[in-house]
Amino acid sequence: MKPRRKKLYGVDVLPEMSTGASDKAQIRSKGVQCYGIGPAIDYEDGAKGFGAHSDQERILEAELHRFVRFQYEVVMDVARAR
């Protein structure tokens, strides 16, 4: 998986824990494994102080495409590993 991460973002991507919450707890309580990944980058709004859950919560179209491609590659790598 490392070459694709480098290819898409130009750096190694490392796991991290977020203090935020999602609906995954309710899904896990039903016995479904679920994980979140979110390597989207916002060069345009981040410098202005906007970010997740701000009054300008958005993502650039180019970043959305890269984000979806990254998720696709992760799922394919996990599926191949089984």
Over residues 24-81, the pLDDT tens digits come to 888 889 999 887 776 667 677 777 777 667 777 777 788 888 888 888 888 888 888 8
When pLDDT is cut at 50, 70 and 90, the band that residue 1 belongs to is: very low
Distances (CA, A) of 23 to 15, 44, 75: 19, 28, 20
Confirm if 8 and 70 have CB atoms less than 8 A apart. yes
For residue 30, what pLDDT is reported? 93
